[in-house]
Amino acid sequence: MTTAVITGAGSGLGRKIAILNHTRYDNLVLIGRNSEKLNETGRICIARGTARVFCLACDLTDENQIRQTAKWITSQLGTVDLLVNNAGLGYFENLLDQSFEQIDRTFATDLTGMIKFTRLMLPLMVDHVGKAADIINIASIAGKIATAKTTTYASAKFGVVGFSNALRLEMQSRNIHVHTINPGPMDTNFFSIADPSGKYLKGVQQFVIDSDQVAELAIKSVNENLREINVPRVMGFGAILYTLFPTMGDLIVNSPLINRK
């Protein structure tokens, strides 16, 4: 029996990844806060042939819920072959306008909750006999290039990239492959929280990526054991240039041409 665990599976990219994986694993474990949205993803997967779907309501900002969810997976399923850390949110506002609640929620969901959940999944993944297990961490291009109005979100996503890089090294000898996916703006509900005004999304309309494409790339990262995928590629290339030429990078990313927030 093989098992894939996907966080944030009730919508957007997480749902797309679950659907694309519908016959690759015997068990799909779908995690998020909203049971109705998870059940809808589950119904789609079952209709397409997934053997077993488990929808587990869990708020990743709540340590007790993380522990309970991990306990259930441990006792009921025992091993995990794929963990997709996808749940996340952000608020695109100047730091001067952010509340402590927004700061805490962003870090607890995107970074610390994800790290704690991974910590509890690792014992179910290490040293699988005969085959590797995989972890896909969904970070962001904001974890490679910080722009104005992403202080908290970019900090959390830079953290996800750093976490992935360190975990990849730790797990090299334990037969777990760690993959990082860094998408640019995607066509999901993310912006209903990040930018309720719609201004940013309107400004970057021509760069918005199809979340189906990102889901396919996430699966490709497992099939081809790729360490990191930046999409669109031009943004990944931009991140390399920014590292090499940071002063010029600041000018470029803060110009109205690039920063539409």
Ligand X SMILES: NC(=O)c1ccc[n+]([C@@H]2O[C@H](COP(=O)([O-])OP(=O)(O)OC[C@H]3O[C@@H](n4cnc5c(N)ncnc54)[C@H](OP(=O)(O)O)[C@@H]3O)[C@@H](O)[C@H]2O)c1
Site string for ligand X, 195-234 (x = CB under 6 A): ----------------------------------------
Residues 164, 48: Cα–Cα separation, whole Å:
32
Residues 31, 55: Cα–Cα separation, whole Å:
6
Measured from the CB atom, is 124 or 154 closer to ligand X? 154
Measured from the CB atom, is 34 or 76 closer to ligand X? 34
Measured from the CB atom, is 174 or 227 closer to ligand X? 227
Residues 246, 97: Cα–Cα separation, whole Å:
26
Residues 168, 179: Cα–Cα separation, whole Å:
8
Mutual orientation of helices 35-47 and 12-20 as an angle, nearest 10°? Answer: 30
Residues 57, 15: Cα–Cα separation, whole Å:
15
Residue 68 in tokens: 């309970």
Identify residues 4-43 at the interface with ligand X (CB under 6 A). Answer: 7-8, 10-14, 32-34, 37
200 given a catalytic annotation: no
Residue range at the interface with ligand X (CB under 6 A); choices 3-11, 19-27, 44-52, 242-250: 3-11
Residue range at the interface with ligand X (CB under 6 A); choices 47-55, 72-80, 85-93, 243-251: 85-93
Contact 231, 183 (CB under 8 A): yes
Q: Which residues bind ligand X (CB under 6 A)?
A: 7-8, 10-14, 32-34, 37, 58-61, 86-90, 109, 138, 140, 183, 185-186, 188-190
* Catalytic residue numbers, as ranges: 153
